[in-house]
């Protein structure tokens, strides 16, 4: 017989250490990695990864402009 555990209230929320969050963020930043796949592997919502990126100031990194050459055909 299958057993199901129902969690309620604050018990449902898992606590992630900063080290664990950074490890998951690094995995999501790997070339070719997809946030959805990383989230599934760690049993978290993809939006959680986005929130962690914001909280660790990933969004505050300076914008880098690359030189572009426009030519006429």
> H-helix or E-strand containing 32?
none
Rounded Cα gap, residues 34 and 37, in angstroms: 5
pLDDT tens for 11-41 read 667 899 999 999 999 999 999 999 999 999 9
pLDDT tens for 33-68 read 999 999 999 999 999 999 998 888 755 667 778 898
Q: What is the pTM of this model?
A: 0.62
């Amino acid at each position: 017989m299958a057993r199901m555990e129902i969690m309620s209230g604050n018990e449902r929320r898992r606590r992630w250490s900063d080290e664990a969050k950074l490890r998951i963020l690094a995995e999501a930043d790997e070339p070719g990695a997809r946030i959805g796949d990383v989230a599934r592997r760690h049993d978290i919502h993809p939006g959680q990864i986005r929130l962690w990126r914001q909280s660790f100031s990933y969004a505050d990194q300076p914008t880098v402009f690359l030189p572009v050459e426009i030519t006429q055909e």
